[in-house]
Amino acid sequence: MKHELTRFNARRMAALIRKESVQIMRDPSTLLIAFVLPILLLFIFGFGISLDANTIRVGLVVQDSGPQAASLANAYRNSPYLEVVEAPAVAPIKARVVADDLRAMIVIPPDFSRAMDRGRPVPVQVATDGSQPNTANFAAAYAEGIYGSWAEQQGIAPPGAQASLNTRFWYNPELKSRFFLVPGSIAIVMTMIGTLLTALVVAREWERGTLEAMMATPIGMGEFIASKLIPYFLLGIGSMALCTVLGIIVFGVPLRGSVFALLAISSAFLLPALGLGLFISAATKNQFVAAQMALLSGFLPSFLLSGFIFEISSMPAPIQAVTYIVPARYLIPSLQTVFVTGDVWGLFLPNIGMMLLFGAIFFLLAFRATKRSLD
């Protein structure tokens, strides 16, 4: 008789989904997490995090009064990438670099113009502040690039130049970090939405005492899990669509891939995110503990170990091994590719397969965590 009662019933399933949807619409916190929190996070990540060094403050010391030195100094002054502060000697510029007021020091040496007139290029000294390695690398590259371009215009090869190198960047020629930060932030938002929302579902039922009433009804575990999954899956897809529209319109990130590919990738990732949230919710039975567990197991690994900010290849080998169990590791490169490059199914399919595998594992854990109470 119990088998008959718990057999799948489409009408009962629709009623459960309708009940969960009405509960979602009546709970303002759910709608805030689903639609307001993504907007806030996307704006914070999109505008607050940038790996671009647009204008770098550097010091310039010209120790030669000849025309060639003056011409090179003007090239540095007119660069859109540098904010030049000049001084007649090295000491005051060095002091400002030490004081963290300037990021680099450029010194045009004595007899620079005379050596150039003789066809003997002289190296320009570039000293950078190594306390911020990325900015130091940018400053050195800009200084050397400006010198090389100026020497080419003068018809003089810069020191050590043996060949002409033409650099071409595919897909993101302007090297805007926003083009990969915004898709990555969408992945973080989806992690938050999928895991945090569902982590509160069953725990809320336990705290409010409504789960005991549901246990008295003839529902099966499959119906119960599906009734929790489907409404929040659709909510997650809606949140992802909102973030995508904002990323394209507000942040100017291109969507070079197809909507179908974007939907397939997002749907595959929502399964492990929702499954993890349901497992946490069923295991803790407390909203506060469930929310903390969702942040620790969902948000932090996705933020730190997915390649969103820190490259996985630069991490220590044990940490790289840990990243393989973070579902967002497979989502972020897929999202970045579908936005900036296009449809590359050779990359998408293995990542989708891994995300579906994690989803199956988490739903199995959620099933086992709630089965003892419901069946």
What are the pLDDT digits (tens) for 45-75? Answer: 878 776 666 678 999 999 988 898 899 999 9
pLDDT higher than 60, residue 160: no
Instruction: Give the lowest-confidence range in 3-12, 110-119, 291-300.
Output: 3-12
- Supply the pLDDT for residue 162: 47
Helical (H) or strand (E) element with 62:
strand 56-62
pLDDT higher than 80, residue 120: no
What's the whole-model pTM score? 0.74
pLDDT higher than 90, residue 323: yes
- Supply the pLDDT for residue 166: 56
Taking the C-alpha atoms of residue 123 and residue 115, their distance in angstroms, rounded to an integer, is: 11
Residue partners of 280: CB distance under 8 A and separation at least 6: 195, 199, 290, 293, 294, 297
Question: Can you spell out the DSSP letters for 295-335?
Answer: IIIIIHHHHHSSSSSS-GGGS-HHHHHHHTT-THHHHHHHH
pLDDT higher than 70, residue 18: yes
Strands 56-62 and 82-86: parallel
Sign of CA dihedral 181, 182, 188, 192: positive
Please give the mean pLDDT across all residues of the chain: 83
**Most confidently modeled range among 130-139, 152-161, 220-229, 359-368:** 359-368
**230-251: string of b/e by CB count within 10 Å (b at 16+)?**
bbbbebbbebbebbbebbeeeb
Q: Please tell me what DSSP assigns to residue 23.
A: H
Cβ count within 10 A of residue 171: 14
Domains and CATH numbers, the chain: 2-50+176-374 (no CATH), 56-153 (3.40.1710.10)
For residue 109, what are its two tokens?
């040496």
